[in-house]
Amino acid sequence: MYKVKEVADLAGVSVRTLHHYDQIGLLSPAKADNGYRYYTDNDFIRLQQILFFKEMDFSLSRIKEIVGDPSFNEMHALKQHKEVLIEKRKRLDKIIYSIDQSLETYEGGRTMSHKDRFEPFDMKQIEEHQKQYAKETEQRWGNTEAYRESAKRTAAYSEEDWRRIHEESERIDQHLIDLMDRSSADPEVQKWIAAKQQHITDHFYNCSIDIFRGLADMYIHDPRFTKNIDKKKNGFAKFLHDAMHEYCDHHQ
Amino acid sequence: MYKVKEVADLAGVSVRTLHHYDQIGLLSPAKADNGYRYYTDNDFIRLQQILFFKEMDFSLSRIKEIVGDPSFNEMHALKQHKEVLIEKRKRLDKIIYSIDQSLETYEGGRTMSHKDRFEPFDMKQIEEHQKQYAKETEQRWGNTEAYRESAKRTAAYSEEDWRRIHEESERIDQHLIDLMDRSSADPEVQKWIAAKQQHITDHFYNCSIDIFRGLADMYIHDPRFTKNIDKKKNGFAKFLHDAMHEYCDHHQ
DNA sequence: AGTAATCTATGACGTAACGTAAAGGTCAAT
DNA sequence: ATTGACCTTTACGTTACGTCATAGATTACT
């Protein structure tokens, strides 16, 4: 037999909460002559159950159904509820993504405008990309032969090599820009996206699907990239992103 | 000059919503003699702003601060708010994860109980692990020399090799079990977690931080693993998971 | 112009899960 | 007996409106 505050302290909830649960008939302990609520061990166990489902983000009315009905299939309820939560999370994902988008618009428009004029050549982009992904790359591949070879390779590129590589990259992009009125799933589009991935793999590092997807995200997440890419053609970054994701979705 | 319903229809909100916004002083249009609210184009623009931030999951009071104060830094607000949303998402992650945990307990207790008796040796676990991660592994590393070599290596293991590897693995686990009363961040614990990662790298494949983290999750996500691991010591799977995450967090 | 249909306005209650007083009894210790 | 900690119920506040209810204004149609 515990009094409200004891139970509250033990369970880590407020007294008001217990009052509330009593009020809505979710957990109604015995009442003594003095009007006090006295909780039994069973009440306490029931409270634990309630708190468990609450932790799972169930509504109190749902919890009442569940703990009230002994034939209720707990596992089914959990599975069902999990779907709801996943939807909620998806929604948050979308919102967060939208905020990123908006932030890019601001930052891309302000901080970058003057800096852009000092960027002589799009090649910087590739270099920056390399730097940015160098750490992660190293981490993913550890110190495999493949990575060391890749690092060696790019370090050994001559000016002429760089120019050639850049030209090839531009050519691929131009093809894609010409296809911007198509759907991202269009076979022709996908063909050039594949070429883009191959180009990176050929000249920089083994560009896995994971990394390629990350790259796609970066194109629209990092305002510096978005700006640079959209310079070629407005909306190109977004188009690339979508097409690359489409590609990755079908290649995993 | 639009009347409520016109604005409501245009903006896709209810009339009641506009009333409400007027009531709380968020959007107060001019009122004519007949008492009607008349919205100007500016009011409409302001409403668009409001709805934008609402879409971003801001509370109306926050929105009032933002659209009310022209000196308010919109970008800063977005950035700040993004953090809140990320926290929310994290919370959802945790809840969903907990539900998975609970489901595993149910399913693990039922579906698995009889099957377990037919699993003669813990080594199966390693094999299954290999199979399960083979595809992903291939994808991450593509066809690098390192991967091919790794695959070749494990294929060439003799029975004796397997036994030795298994023993080594057991030894590491035993050390960790002995440390289960410590915090997951304890240096001694972390030392053996590192040994675990190294062990996998040495004998199976280059176990990157990413993969190691995935492994940790699998230990408590996949009931087969949880069951098997907890057979050694109850709660060991969870302990491993936490310690491995701790390790990964400090090694990226 | 008369009438009906439609639109408008202002309350005011309901929602979910309690938080936060307020006003007043109860219990254990001093 | 007094004090302080704890108990009770009552009831309003919170979020962002939904949902009536009642009543006046406008518009459409005959």
Confidence category of residue A215, pLDDT binned at 50, 70, 90:
confident
The distance (Å) linking the CA of A92 with the C1' of D2 is 58
φ/ψ of B3, rounded to 5, equals -95, 165
pLDDT value at position A102? 58
Q: What are the distances in angstroms from CA A242 to CA A99, A193, B143, B242?
A: 18, 10, 26, 36
Which positions on chain D have an atom < 7 Å from some protein CB?
Answer: 6-11, 15-20, 25-26
pLDDT value at B147 more than 60: no
Q: Which of the 8 DSSP states describes residue A19?
A: H
B window 47-66, beta carbon within 8 A of A = 55-57
The verdict on B59 and B152 lying in the same domain is: no
Closest approach of chain B CAs to the CA of A38, in angstroms? 30
Question: Which of B51, B68, B85 delimits the end of a domain?
Answer: B68
The enclosing domain of B146 has a CATH number of 1.10.490.50
Asked if residue A184 is part of any domain, the answer here is yes
d(C-alpha A178, C-alpha A236), whole Å: 10
> Cα distance from A59 to chain B (closest Cα, Å)?
14
Q: Is the CB of B15 under 7 A from strand C?
A: yes
Residue of B132 and B245 predicted with greater confidence: B245
Same domain, B217 and B162: yes
DSSP B222: S
Question: Which residue out of B82, B107, B145, B148 would a mutagenesis test of the A interface target, given it has the greatest number of A Cβ atoms within 10 Å?
Answer: B82
Does position A110 have pLDDT exceeding 60, yes or no? no
Strand ranges in chain B using DSSP code E only, listed in sequence order: 2-3, 30-31, 37-39
CATH number, position A29: 1.10.1660.10
Question: Tell me, what's the pLDDT at B53?
Answer: 79
Q: Token pair for residue B35? A: 């008492």
- Higher pLDDT: B221 or B118? It is B221
Are residue B51 and residue B6 in the same domain, yes or no?
yes
A192 vs B219, more confident: A192
Report whether B63 contacts B50 (CB < 8 A): yes
Cα angle for residues B44, B48, B53 (degrees, 5° grid): 145
Taking contacts as CB-CB distances below 8 angstroms, the residues of chain B near A92 are: 57, 85, 88-89, 92
**H or E segment at A150?**
helix A145-155
Residue in B55, B85, B201 closest to A96 by CB: B85
Given B29, B48, B68, the domain boundary residue is: B68
Q: Does B83 touch chain A (CB under 8 A)?
A: no
CA distance A169 to chain B (A): 22
Q: From A110, which residue of chain B is nearest by alpha-carbon distance?
A: B75
Q: Do A95 and B141 touch (CB under 8 A)?
A: no
φ, ψ (nearest 5 deg) of residue A237: -60, -45
In a domain, A124, yes or no: yes
**Distance of B99 CA from C13 C1′ (whole Å):** 37
Return d(Cα B225, Cα B101) in angstroms, integer: 12
E strand or H helix at A10: helix A4-11
Instruction: Compute the average pLDDT of residues A136-164.
Output: 47
Q: Is the pLDDT of residue B246 over 80?
A: yes
Whether A145 sits inside 8 A of B144 (CB atoms) is yes
pLDDT digits (tens, 9 = 90+) for B14-62: 999 999 999 999 999 999 999 999 999 888 878 878 887 787 678 899 8
Q: Do B98 and A139 touch (CB under 8 A)?
A: no
B146 CB near a chain A CB, below 8 Å? yes
Contact B122, B229 (CB under 8 A): no
Last residue of a domain, one of B68, B91, B109: B68
Pair (B60, B6) in one structural domain: yes
Structure tokens at A143: 């110190």
Average pLDDT, chain A: 70
pLDDT, residue A32, reads 92
The Cα of B134 is separated from the nearest Cα of chain A by a number of Å equal to: 13
| Within-domain flag for A188 | yes
Identify whether residues A126 and A242 lie together within a single domain.
yes
Q: How many CA atoms lie within 13 A of B179 on its CB side?
A: 21
Using CA atoms, how far apart are residues A244 and A238, in angstroms rounded to an integer? Answer: 10
Worst-scoring range by mean pLDDT, A27-41, B96-110, B155-169?
A: B96-110
Q: What is the mean pLDDT of residues A2-23?
A: 90
Q: Which residue is closest to D8 in terms of CA–C1' distance?
A: A35
Task: Give the model's pLDDT for residue A129.
Answer: 36
**Amino acid at the residue A103:** L
Count how many domains chain B has: 3
- Distance separating alpha carbons of residues B246 and B244, to the nearest angstrom: 5
CA of B18 to C1' of D21 (A): 19
pLDDT higher than threshold 90 for residue A21? yes
In the DSSP assignment, the letter for residue B27 is S
User: Can you give the pLDDT at residue B19?
Assistant: 95
B90 and B198 part of one domain = no
CA distance A113 to A107: 9
Q: Which residue has the higher pLDDT, B102 or B230?
A: B230
Residue of B nearest to A150 (CA): B144
Is there a single domain that holds both residue B139 and residue B209?
Answer: yes
Residue A24's pLDDT is: 92
CA distance B53 to chain A (A): 10
Asked if pLDDT for residue A126 goes beyond 90, the answer is: no
Which comes out higher in pLDDT, residue A197 or A76?
Answer: A197
> What pLDDT, on a 0 to 100 scale, did the predictor assign at position B208?
72
**CB of residue B59 closer than 7 A to nucleic acid strand C?**
no
Q: Are A95 and B206 a contacting pair at CB < 8 A?
A: no
- Residue B252 CA to residue A73 CA, distance in Å, equals 42
| Same domain flag for B48 and B130 | no
pLDDT at A146: 37
List of long-range contacts for B156-163, beta carbons under 8 Å, 24+ apart: B162/B123
Highest mean pLDDT among A76-80, B17-21, B242-246: B17-21
Q: How far is the CA of A83 from the C1' of C27 (A)?
A: 49
Does one domain contain both A125 and A243? yes
Cα distances (angstroms) measured from residue A198 to each of A94, A126, A172, A195, B181? 30, 15, 11, 5, 50
Closest among A196, A189, A208, A204 to A168, alpha carbons compared: A196
pLDDT for A117 equals 21
B78, B81, B252 member nearest A139 (Cβ): B252
Q: Distance between alpha carbon B36 and the CA centroid of its chain, in Å?
A: 50
- List for chain A the helix, strand, coil content (%; round to 5): 75, 5, 25
C-alpha A119: how far from its chain's center? 31
For the cut 80, the answer to whether the pLDDT of residue A94 exceeds it is: no
**d(Cα A66, Cα A25) in Å, to the nearest integer?**
13
Which range is most confident: A8-12, A200-204, A245-249, B219-223? Answer: A245-249
The C-alpha atoms of residue B44 and residue A249 are separated, in whole angstroms, by 40
Find, among B252, B249, B213, B221, the residue nearest to B237 by Cα.
Answer: B221
Q: What CA–CA distances, in Å, run from A154 to A165, A216, B146?
A: 11, 22, 20
Amino acid at A125: Q
Nucleotides of C under 7 A from a protein CB: 7-10, 12, 16-20, 26-27
Share of chain A above pLDDT 70, in %: 56
CA of A34 to C1' of D8 (A): 9
Task: Give yes or no for residue B100 having a pLDDT over 80.
Answer: no
Q: Which domain holds residue B178?
A: 120-249
Over residues B163-176, the pLDDT tens digits come to 667 777 888 888 89
Q: Is residue A114 part of a domain?
A: no
Q: Is pLDDT above 80 for A225?
A: no
Per-residue model confidence (pLDDT) at position B214? 65
Query: Could you tell me if B128 and B199 lie in one domain?
Result: yes
Same domain, A147 and A166: yes
Give the distance between the most distant pair of CA atoms in chain A. 95
**pLDDT at position B154, please?**
54
Same-domain check for residues A241 and A144: yes
Chain B residues in contact with A106 (beta carbon < 8 A): 74-75
Which is higher by pLDDT, A152 or B204?
B204
Give the CA-to-C1' distance from A222 to D18 in angstroms.
Answer: 41
CA B173 to C1' C18, whole Å: 46
